[in-house]
Amino acid sequence: MNAAIKSSKTRFAERLQAVDGHVTTVQSPTAAARAVKTILKDGGAERVAVDACDTLRALDLPKALGSNKIEWILGSADKNELATCDAGITSADFAIADTGTLAFLSGKGLSRSVSLLPPLHIAIVPINALVEDLDTVLAQVLDAGEMPSCLTLVTGPSRTADIEQVLTIGVHGPCALHVILLKN
């Protein structure tokens, strides 16, 4: 791994942690599954939605986590079902070092709500998704074709300061965001 990637990883983590996101780096799919297991256990999550993307299919979390009490909701986009889940697991198309931001592109079979409705959001992101800034993301998306119907930028958990300007986490979206950076 070259120095540039290493430093953008560090910057990504620092920026995201500064806005109350959590970042872990793991070396293997097995380690990623272990990290997920810990986060779910700590968060007391029992019903867990998993996005239908390729990265997560390859990881096969229900199998990797072994037999435990978790009820898995795989590839659902039913809002009422997702609203009852304790956690949502997604990947991300880009991780932006400059701001600690995840970028999600909408697409076939992918729900915009898995990262939105459950109170806990876990994103497992291949480390090669790291880019420097938003300019790079937008340029790459346009180079590859056209804008998706929805490109979402997520930087930390949902927040508000609408009552007495006191920062409060988790008003409408997730109350916690965990990013697991997965080395190839």
Partner 1 sequence: MSPEGFKTRSAQALRDKHLGQAINNATQRFAEARVHAFSDEDELNALREQGRQIKDAALHNLPLLLHRLEQQVTARGGRVFHAADAQAANDYILGVARRKYARIITKSKSMTTEEIDLARILEEDEIEVVETDLGERIIQLAREKPAHIIIPAIHKTRKQVSELFHRKLGVPKSESIDELTKAARATLRKKFLQANIGITGGNFLVAETGTLVIVENEGNARLTTALPKTHIAVVGIEKVIEKMSDLPTMLKLLTRSATGQRISSYISLITGPRRAGEPDGAEEFHLVLLDNGRRRIHRDAKLREVLRCIRCGACLNVCPVYKLIGGHAYGGVYPGPIGSIVTPLLGNENTGTELPSASSLCGACKDVCPVKIDLPRLLLLLRARLANRAPAGLFEQIAFKAWALAMGSPRRFALARKVARKFYRLTSGRVPYPLSGWTESRTFPEPAEQSFREWWETEHERRH
Should residue 153 be labelled a site residue for partner 1 when binding is judged by CB under 8 A? Answer: yes
- What tokens does 184 get? 């190839």
Of positions 131, 156, 178, 180, contacts partner 1 by CB under 8 A: 156
Of positions 44, 80, 145, 184, contacts partner 1 by CB under 8 A: 80
Should residue 166 be labelled a site residue for partner 1 when binding is judged by CB under 8 A? Answer: yes
Of positions 48, 101, 127, 176, contacts partner 1 by CB under 8 A: 101
Distance CA 141, CA 8 (A): 20
> Chain-centre distance of CA 110, in angstroms?
13
First to last CA, the chain: 11
Q: Residue 33 or residue 122: which is nearer to partner 1 going by CB?
A: 122
The phi-psi region of residue 29 (left if phi > 0; otherwise alpha if psi is between -120 and 50; otherwise beta) is: alpha
Please name the helix (run of DSSP H) or strand (run of DSSP E) that holds residue 57, with its range, or none. helix 54-59
Note whether 137 and 95 are within 8 A (CB).
no
Of positions 71, 79, 128, 140, contacts partner 1 by CB under 8 A: 79
**For binding to partner 1 (CB under 8 A), which residues are involved?**
15, 19, 77, 79-80, 83, 99, 101, 106-113, 116-117, 133-135, 138-139, 142, 146-166, 168, 170-174
